[in-house]
Structure 1
Amino acid sequence: MNLTDRIVVVTGGAGGIGSALARRFAAEGAAAVVVADLEADAAHAVADGIGPVAHPATVDVTDEDQVRSLVADTERRYGRIDLFCANAGVTTGGGIEVDDAAWDRAWRVNVLAHVYAARAVLPGMLARGGGHLLHTCSAAGVLTAVGDAAYTATKHAAVGFAEWLSITYRDRGIRVSALCPQGVDTPMLADGLAAGHLGARVIAASGAILTADQVAEAAVAGLAEERFLILPHPEVAAYARRRAEDPDGWQAGLRKLVRRLTT
């Protein structure tokens, strides 16, 4: 996808990877970028910083009616949506001890929000014969987020859903990409480190931390090439191959890393 003159929506657009995507899409010549986020003031601040092509919107991505309204309002304002980025995401920082409410929130933000977006935006895209969905899924969706069971499970589900969409709709003009970064210097990582979450510590120990702007650059390149898996950290592809070829050895390596960080 060439982003020039495109109409783009970014959820979770008020910070981290989302705000970097919004800024980069505008810099690439998008005609409009809708910065959608649960935090209204933050969405307005990002949109104001981008300039006239940006429009803020307040949305809770776990509420299907609000997602439908976001899509309908954008289509009324601009006539169409060319690229919808389902980017909002949450972590828990824990394992099976995490309560049901946190598991449910992770499921609703990391998976169902993507389902709600697809339900809302696909009819218009299909009627026009084209469109692109970009789902931020994380490297946890193709590997494992050590220390965060709910994040691992929901991000695997997010990648699976994106793949299903791609298989089902590509021949009808719909392109789907799963953006799967590993360590990114965002408030999510900083908060995890401050809380002592094991997953954040594993990421920090890897030393491969990208900026959100670097992730946005990789996303633009992947969209241009219409790639399904967009891997800002190229080593993730090698890790995924190793995991597939030798799952026992892969798990043994991660257990060794965990022991080193926790003893």
Structure 2
Amino acid sequence: MKVAGKVAVVTGGGGGIGGALAARLVRDGARVVVADLNAEAAQTVVDAIVADHPGSAVAVGADVSDTAQIRQLIERAESEFAPVDLYFANAGVTGPPGLDVDDAAWEQAFDVNLRAHIRAAKLLVPGWLDRGEGYFVSTASAAGLLTQLGSATYSVTKHAAVGFAEWLSVTYGDRGVRVSCVCPMGVNTALLFSGEQSGSTLGSLGTRAVTSAGAVLEPDDVAEIVLAGVEEERFLILPHPEVLELYRHKGADYDRWLHGMRRYQRSLLAES
């Protein structure tokens, strides 16, 4: 899909990948609603965008774990611009490391990393089916394909996000609804370094596992790769191409892959 002339919503747009996506979408001719739990961060992103592209973006403070607030985002896009053509479900949380995580942290991870995608799709897909076109972009993670050392909440909910995106594509792909699932490894954002700053050995392990596994990309580079994938209407968008080879190894011999992950974990712990 060409994004020029389209209307997009980007959640988690107050910085990182989301902020870069919003800026890139506007440069490519789209109009964008930038949503973030931090309304000031969303407004800062929009101020920078509209300085060069007046009237092309608006900021909304929103908690995308809440269906009513997702509906308000969609309605704001319609009132400011036109019906939503692309929805970037980009907001995400990590969650505490380890198994000793309370139910509230699990609920938050499921709400933001998975249920927010489901709730948005429920609101958008019927209209897309009527119009014969729409695009849902899920920001998951390489952790959704390969597992994240340290954080169970992150790994499990990102696996679920990949599964939901697959289901959405299978179910509605022949009826005009396009779906992409973005699965990067390390990206230079606050989310990447949250484990390192958690004060936990497992949290620090999680950050080092990602930063030592491959290049840490800048959000602008990821945004460029994502929009190239959207233009080509590719389902799996891998800013780190090596993830595909790792995923193939996992599928080819699951037990060998698990042994390798445990060995990698031991090596990181030995460095602590």
Query: Could you say whether these structures have the same fold, taking a TM-score greater than 0.5 normalized by the shorter chain as the test?
Result: yes
Partner of 1:64: 67
Partner of 1:29: 29
Partner of 1:154: 157
Partner of 2:16: 16
Alpha-carbon deviation of 1:79?
Answer: 2.2
Partner of 1:45: 44
Whole-Å separation in 1 of the counterparts to 2:90 and 2:84: 16
Alpha-carbon deviation of 1:11?
Answer: 0.3
Equivalent of 1:234, from 232, 241, 255? Answer: 241
**Structure 1: gaps (5+ residues):** none
Whole-Å separation in 2 of the counterparts to 1:230 and 1:212: 14
- 8 A Cα contact 1:111 1:157, kept in partner: yes
3-state SS of the aligned residue for 1:18?
helix
Whole-Å separation in 1 of the counterparts to 2:176 and 2:17: 26
Equivalent of 1:130, from 129, 133, 138? Answer: 133
1:75-130, CA deviations, whole angstroms, 9 ceiling, x for partnerless residues?
A: 23222111100000000241221111111100000000001110111122222110
Kindly indicate whether residue 75 of structure 2 is the aligned counterpart of residue 76 of structure 1.
no
Equivalent of 1:217, from 224, 227, 232? Answer: 224
Q: Give 1:62's aligned amino acid.
A: S
1:127-206 maps to which residues of 2 (within 5 A)? 127-195=130-198, 197=203, 198-206=205-213
3-state SS of the aligned residue for 2:88?
strand
- 8 A Cα contact 1:93 1:199, kept in partner: no
- 8 A Cα contact 1:130 1:173, kept in partner: yes
1:137-189, CA deviations, whole angstroms, 9 ceiling, x for partnerless residues?
A: 11111110111111111111101001111011111101000011111110111
Partner of 2:104: 101
1:32-83, CA deviations, whole angstroms, 9 ceiling, x for partnerless residues?
A: 1110111111111100101121110111001111111111221232221111
Whole-Å separation in 2 of the counterparts to 1:154 and 1:229: 17
Alpha-carbon deviation of 1:193?
Answer: 2.1
- 8 A Cα contact 1:85 1:134, kept in partner: yes
Structure 1 stretches (4+) deviating beyond 6 angstroms?
Answer: none
- 8 A Cα contact 2:185 2:214, kept in partner: no
Whole-Å separation in 2 of the counterparts to 1:156 and 1:200: 18
Whole-Å separation in 2 of the counterparts to 1:24 and 1:89: 20
3-state SS of the aligned residue for 1:191?
coil
Going from structure 1 to structure 2, the CA distance change for 1:207 and 1:165 (only over 3 Å counts) comes to closer
Whole-Å separation in 2 of the counterparts to 1:112 and 1:169: 18
**Identity percentage of aligned residues:** 52
3-state SS of the aligned residue for 1:119?
helix
- 8 A Cα contact 2:109 2:153, kept in partner: yes
**Structure 2: gaps (5+ residues):** none
- 8 A Cα contact 1:219 1:230, kept in partner: yes
After TM superposition, the score normalised by the length of structure 2 is 0.94
The number of aligned residues is 262
Q: Give 1:21's aligned amino acid.
A: L
- 8 A Cα contact 1:10 1:36, kept in partner: yes
Partner of 1:4: 4
Whole-Å separation in 1 of the counterparts to 2:181 and 2:112: 16
